[in-house]
Amino acid sequence: MPLKWKWFNNSEPFRWTFGYSEVPEFAYFYLPLWAFVAATLVPTALAWRSDTLATRRAHIGFCAKCGYNLSATAAGVPCPECGAKV
Ligand SMILES: [Zn+2]
């Protein structure tokens, strides 16, 4: 069966789920928009949280990478715990 694109008119019901249907002339997939939003949102939220955490650690004198307390470490010396440049 050759793959063919077709836009549906508004008589199609709104769908929230993934789906696949096959009729004699063609087959079609349902791809809900929330799946694309979720696929974008989850990595973005994780990266944002990681960045916020690193910024907060660096601001209060902790290593941005591992959270080690750098109050007793000389300035310009790499983190003794993970080796990250401070
Ligand atoms: Zn560290």
What percent of the chain has pLDDT above 70?
A: 91
Query: What is the distance in A from the centroid of ligand 1 to the CA of 78?
Result: 8
Give per-residue pLDDT as tens, 40-83: 999 999 999 999 999 999 999 999 999 999 999 998 899 999 99
Residue 41 tokens, joined:
């949102």
CA-CA distance, 51 to 45, in Å (whole number)? 10
Å from CA of 33 to ligand 1 middle: 40
Q: For residue 25, what pLDDT band results from cuts at 50, 70 and 90? A: confident
Is the confidence at residue 1, as pLDDT, over 70? Answer: no
Cα of 12 vs centre of ligand 1, distance in Å, is 56
CA distance 7 to 25: 14
pLDDT of residue 63: 93
15 CA distance to ligand 1 centroid (A)? 48
Distance 64 CA to ligand 1 centre (A): 7
The 3 state secondary structure assigned to 36-56 is HHHHHHHHHHHHHHHHHHHHH
